[in-house]
Amino acid sequence: MWRGVMTETHTLDKGLAESNRSQFPTLFPNLWMIRDKTVGQLVDAHVRDPKLKAILTQSCGYYGLPPSQLSAFYYLLPTGDYLENGGSYVKGTSQNLSNALAKAVTDAGGEVLYGTRVGSIVMGKGRVTGVKTHDGREFKAKVVVCNASAPQVFGKLLPSGSVPKDERSKLETYTYSPSSFIVWLGLNRDITKQFSHPAISYYASYDQDANYKNAIDCNFKKSGFSLMVYDNLVSGYSPSGCSSVSIMGLCGYGAWKEMEGDYLAGRKTQYNKKKQKLTDLLISLAEERAIPGLSKMIVMSDSATPLTNFRFTLNTAGALYGYNQSTDNSFMSRLSNKTGVPGLYLASAWGNPGGGFGGALLGGKSAFKSIAEDKVA
């Protein structure tokens, strides 16, 4: 099936004439069939063994939902790409991607204003006319392309009443993706021979729904974790004789919500206790299941929680992937990058198609296409 999905997606990406939209089910039978299906539903139709189902769908965690909830489309497309073309990484580190995008802006005569927060989107005569920053500066524009958290865009940045009622009602039904808890470790030993894989995911059980529920509760002992050794991806990443490692688990924002006010106000006593407890737990689990003696190799350590994600990215609930890729908000039913507010477009994990480097970049491409079609100049 994934081959059919890939073939039809490539065809669709080349452009579907308006006159053919009514023929979508005939022209794209595989895409039409999975449009409202979960990964779990597809696997259930062909596989009976519960353990085999879990193995086949183990990478669902990369998209923030268990097979029973995750859109089949958003799982099959990147999985098909991986099977067709293999895995790939940005050369160097992910910062290089950010640098390249910033360079594209400046090379085209634009300017990137670092550390500048938008306080509001300005409107006039029923459409956006620019943005105003927190420090009071206003920038005029016929189009605003927004990569900020969609709930904040629609709920805080726009003037009250700007969003059409039906669009606002639909937005209120969408759920946020999980956040994450990550531990970064600097080790005084080269472990690339001891642990030769770039990354491995470890699960507590074959029950994906139970693993997901425990992850949302930040119960890593009963959910599992992923381990990455950067030196197996980037030669020379660490100083000679050393290694850099990260341990990560999905983690719900709800487990940290009660600390949000104190955290943002700089009162972090209880927060730091919880953060350290979970840091120690993940190190212990990684030592037990993957790298014996890990705790004795550590020379530096840092951790990031859902509150860290929120503070640095301002993504609502520290969401990793924007809105969840559930069947009611994925593929054909996904939130459009062309909003109901004239002149406002989305280009982020919150829009279409969704989260991840690839998803967000495709969102930018989609936003540009919509702007060009709207002939906004």
Q: Please tell me what DSSP assigns to residue 117.
A: -
358 within 8 A of 78, measured Cβ to Cβ = yes
The answer for residues whose C-beta is within 8 angstroms of residue 202's C-beta and 6 or more apart is 224, 225, 226, 227, 285, 289, 290
More confident position, 152 or 377:
152
Output the pLDDT for position 119: 97
The amino acid occupying position 316 is T
- Report the distance separating Cα 80 and Cα 63, nearest Å: 14
Domains by residue range for the chain, with CATH: 2-85 (1.10.405), 95-174+321-374 (3.50.50.60), 179-317 (no CATH)
Output the pLDDT for position 144: 98
Reading the block at residue 111, the tokens are 């300017």
Output the pLDDT for position 255: 94
Paired with 235 in beta bridges are: none
Q: Among 285, 309, 310, 308, which Cα is nearest to 295's?
A: 285
Output the pLDDT for position 88: 83
Calculate what percentage of the chain has a pLDDT beyond 90.
86
Average pLDDT over residues 14-29: 74
Reading the block at residue 78, the tokens are 């990147």
Cis, peptide link before residue 353, omega less than 30° from 0 = yes
The pTM of the full predicted model, rounded to 2 decimals, is 0.92
Average pLDDT over residues 189-218: 96
Mean pLDDT lowest for which of 14-23, 73-82, 192-201, 242-251? 14-23
Reading the block at residue 293, the tokens are 């003696």
Read off the pLDDT of residues 285-302 as tens digits, 9 standing for 90 and up.
Answer: 999 999 999 999 999 999
Checking if the pLDDT of 335 tops 60, the result is yes
- Report the distance separating Cα 218 and Cα 86, nearest Å: 31
- Report the distance separating Cα 349 and Cα 370, nearest Å: 17
Checking if the pLDDT of 271 tops 60, the result is yes
Long-range contacts for 78-82 (Cβ within 8 Å, ≥24 apart)? Answer: 78/356, 78/358, 79/2, 80/2, 80/3, 80/5, 80/6, 80/9, 81/6
Checking if the pLDDT of 152 tops 50, the result is yes
Q: Please tell me what DSSP assigns to residue 133.
A: E
- Report the distance separating Cα 96 and Cα 91, nearest Å: 7
pLDDT band at 375 (very low <50, low <70, confident <90, very high): confident
More confident position, 202 or 9:
202
Read off the pLDDT of residues 114-147 as tens digits, 9 standing for 90 and up.
Answer: 999 999 999 999 999 999 999 999 999 999 999 9
17 burial level (CB within 10 Å; 0-12, 13-18, 19+): exposed
Output the pLDDT for position 13: 76
**Over the chain, what is the mean pLDDT?**
94
pLDDT band at 17 (very low <50, low <70, confident <90, very high): very low
Read off the pLDDT of residues 214-234 as tens digits, 9 standing for 90 and up.
Answer: 999 999 999 999 999 999 998
The answer for residues whose C-beta is within 8 angstroms of residue 192's C-beta and 6 or more apart is 229, 231, 232, 243
Calculate what percentage of the chain has a pLDDT beyond 70.
98
Checking if the pLDDT of 92 tops 90, the result is no
Strand, helix or coil at 298? strand
Average pLDDT over residues 70-77: 94
Give the DSSP per-residue string, 176-229: BPPEEEEEEEEESS--TTTS-SSEEEEES-S-HHHHHHHHHTT-HHHHEEEEEE
